[in-house]
Amino acid sequence: MKKQDNELMDKIVALCKRRGFIYPSSEIYGGFAAVYDYGPYGVELEKAVKDFWWKRVVQVNQNVVGLDAAIFMHPKVWEASGHVSGFADPLMECKNCHARIRVDHALEEIGVLADEKMEVDEINKLVDENRDKLECPNCKKKDFTQVKKFNQLVRSNLGNFTDDINKEPVYLRGETCQGIYVNYKNVLDSTRVKVPFGIAQIGKAFRNEITARQFIFRTREFEQMELQYFVAPETDMDLYEKLRQDRWQYYLDLGLSEENLKWHKHENLVFYAKEAYDIEYNFPFGFSELEGVHARGNYDLSQHGKFSNEELIYTDPKSNETYIPHVIEASVGVGRTVLAILTEAYTEEEVNGETRVVMKFSKKMAPVKVAVFPLLKNKPELVAKAKQVFDDLKIKYMCEFDDNGNVGKRYRRQDEIGTPYCVTIDFDTLEDNAVTIRDRDTMEQSRVSIKELHSWLEQKINE
Ligand code: GAP
């Protein structure tokens, strides 16, 4: 059983809750739409994703440096970027139940090509032409208000001591890359980078998304991993192609299979963009955007130059040529990556007439790498030996110690959290100093001496 199964998403959501990956936010108060909390295994998965991205994007690239800009920024940043005037999605309301509907998505669902960049008139026309086919997802009625654009920026009253939040609005950032653009000059002046160079950042972003659905695919608070490359104008499209290839390979190396990935080229571009592609993943609800790879021209630095009156130009140290660098970017959400990994890993198998649910994470992504079990809980000598093995392994790997229930049950639990190896200490261990290692995927067991346990695991986990 795999993709395009209507029940798959429900099963993933249920497993995430049951096994401590992801919980709905503020659940004891009835939840808070489109916001999620990451539980003990969820944070490990997130951390593995972020570490993998950082290593691949920053650590191994001499010309890429990291940044951690604040979530709050000067409100002018969002005027310069175009978010205050243009960061809006088309919304209409059901006149019967008042459900708010994201119109471009509703049109797409009935097979009409639409996107959020269309003008309101254009999208209202499409709604009029398809009125008989559009129905409210909540009450199924077909009576809607006119479409209007709804700005997605989230407002705050930080530093505003009046009672009116709208008086001097401050925004929670809608994308992390603006923190990179406004620090472009700082990085240039304080480090030894030269064009072409990149600045990378992982951090929270906030968007007032109209519809709350598809679990962690579209949330109102989420983390982005963004790489912004500053390049010479005449080289931008060559480097863009290189970046596209690199990002494709990144997902294969992350453990996603190629058949579940595809490119989507944007035909309807924002006016400044030179080219835009998405890498789509085959989520349980079908192929949808995982990452955006965009050639943005020099719009970002030009706008911030204009609004701040700072000269955001670059002088080539060899030719003395001056220009505003062009930006090419690769931008992806941590949550979307986690959902892709969960989708890829979720597997059901028949074992001895029962269904085994197993998360077949790639070993580098698995939240827990090794579980250690004493065969029996009430045998102190087994427990002591197992603790010794656990204490030794935990320095190197995320490990779990489990002495609860029979070993079969413990295996099932570890299968559901995707632990690649379970190590059991039995009575023979006390004699031969060897343990039984059970492989998550093949369920085969190997006998390995404790002396060789580290090197055995090291080799297997990194293979
Ligand atoms: N700086 C460019 C930018 O932000 P975007 O296409 O709006 O572009 C980039 O977002 C990526 O951020 C998306 O491909 C997706 O992975 C993630 N993302 C965007 N909105 C999201 C949301 N509401 N929930 C979760 N992830 C989101």
Q: Which pLDDT value is given to residue 200?
A: 98
Return d(Cα 313, Cα 230) in angstroms, integer: 11
247 lines ligand 1 (CB under 6 A): no
Answer yes or no: are the C-beta atoms of 44 and 61 closer than 8 Å.
no
**Close Cβ partners of 209 (under 8 Å, ≥ 6 residues apart):** 34, 89, 102, 152, 218, 219, 220
Please indicate whether residue 291, judged by its CB atom, sits closer than 6 Å to ligand 1.
yes
Which long-range CB contacts under 8 A does 55-64 form with residues at least 24 apart?
Answer: 56/250, 56/253, 57/198, 57/200, 57/225, 57/227, 57/330, 58/200, 61/198, 63/193, 63/194, 63/196, 63/197, 63/198, 64/197, 64/198, 64/199, 64/200, 64/227, 64/229
**Closest residue to atom 2 of ligand 1, CA basis:** 331
Q: Is the CB of residue 89 below 6 angstroms from any atom belonging to ligand 1?
A: no
Q: Above pLDDT 90, what percent of the chain? A: 90
For residue 1, what pLDDT is reported? 37
pLDDT band at 21 (very low <50, low <70, confident <90, very high): very high
What is the average pLDDT across 270-283? 94
- What does the alpha-carbon distance between residue 446 and residue 167 come to, in Å, rounded to a whole number? 68
Rounded distance from Cα 333 to ligand 1 centre (Å): 6
CB of residue 289 inside a 6 A radius of ligand 1: yes
Predicted confidence (pLDDT) at residue 163 exceeds the cutoff of 90: no
Average pLDDT over residues 262-282: 94
Q: What is the DSSP string of 384-453?
A: HHHHHHHHHHTTTS-EEE--SS-HHHHHHHHHHHT-SEEEEE-HHHHHH-EEEEEETTT--EEEEEGGGH
CA dist 244 and 236 (Å) reads: 12
Q: Which residues on adjacent β-strands are paired with residue 264?
A: 278
Q: How far apart are CA 361 and CA 341, in angstroms?
A: 7
Q: Which amino acid, 18?
A: R
User: pLDDT, tens digit, for every residue of 301-322?
Assistant: 999 999 999 999 999 999 999 9
Query: What pLDDT does residue 168 have?
Result: 82
Sign (positive or negative) of CA dihedral 314, 316, 321, 327: negative
Give 164's pLDDT tier (boundaries 50, 70, 90).
confident
Query: What per-residue confidence (pLDDT) applies to 4?
Result: 52
- For residues 411-436, give the mean pLDDT: 97
pLDDT tens, 250-261? 999 999 999 999
pLDDT for residue 229 is more than 70: yes
Q: Would you state the pLDDT for residue 161?
A: 87
Tell me the pLDDT tens digit for each residue of 38-61.
999 999 999 999 999 999 999 999
- Average pLDDT value over all residues in the chain: 95
Query: What pLDDT is recorded for position 2?
Result: 44
Establish whether residue 181 lines the binding site of ligand 1, counting it when its CB lies within 6 angstroms of any ligand atom: no
List of residues 6+ apart from 33 with CB closer than 8 A: 212, 220
Domains of the chain (ranges, CATH numbers): 6-60+194-342 (3.30.930.10), 368-461 (3.40.50.800)
pLDDT score of 133 more than 70: yes
Q: What average pLDDT score do residues 58-65 get? A: 97
Q: What is the mean pLDDT of residues 89-109?
A: 92
Using a pLDDT cut of 70, give the percent of the chain over it: 99
> What tens digit of pLDDT does each residue of 353-369 get?
999 999 999 999 999 99
* pLDDT higher than threshold 60 for residue 36: yes
Scored b (16 or more CB within 10 A) or e, 347-368 reads eeeeeeeeeeebbbbbbebbbb
Mutate to test the pocket of ligand 1, among 25, 49, 89, 175 (most ligand atoms within 8 A of CB): 175
